[in-house]
Amino acid sequence: MAVPSGSAIRALALEYKSLEEDPVEGFRVKLVNDEDMFLWEVALFGPPDTLYQGGYFKAHLKFPADYPYNPPSVRFLSKVWHPNVYENGDLCVSILHPPVDDPQSGELPCERWNPTQNVRTILLSVVSLLNEPNTSSPANVDASVMYRRWKDSKGKDKEYENIIRKQVSASHAEADKDQVVRSEERRVGKECRSRWS
């Protein structure tokens, strides 16, 4: 493994402090180990008005030694059924792909990582991806097929939705373990919406 640069440690320390002072709504970040600035735990509440609403999903954000010149990786620790999440939990999103020209990928270089990106832009990309999966190059083909079937049927085909609802429900045990309180803010047939408290 490459030796972490001092500039990478400083950049991560500044970003971490910024997120502590001005958090991204719906996320919580903390260091897995106070001695290691290169591995963060991220907890995400499923965004409102999505199938993931009410869920509590955890992931590791692992930074390379030469950050911010190369992107971190994101691996969900919680089960997340999604077209852009591999079975092992690795997230596949353009913003986390290295800044190389790869005509085979179908991605434009401007869609890939660049050093002006940061943890805040990554977290916002994750929320966006949960709302609108990229099914043109799926990491989980089965989830992608189910998602398209669900979308084409305007929600009548429930297979995709049912898997996610089970994962959202299962995530409540982890939220309870982490002493995250869920509160009911929406009524009239909508599920509980989770929030940090």
| Closest alpha carbon to 52 in 152, 161, 157 | 161
Active site residue 110: no
Q: Which two tokens stand for residue 86?
A: 């591999």
Q: What is the 3-state secondary structure (H, E, C) of 118-169?
A: CHHHHHHHHHHHHHCCCCCCCCCHHHHHHHHHHHHCCCCCCHHHHHHHHHHH
Catalytic residue from among 51, 61, 92, 146: 92
Which amino acid type is present at position 69? Y
Residues 6+ apart with CB under 8 A from 43: 27, 28, 29, 56, 57, 58, 178, 180
Active site residues: 92
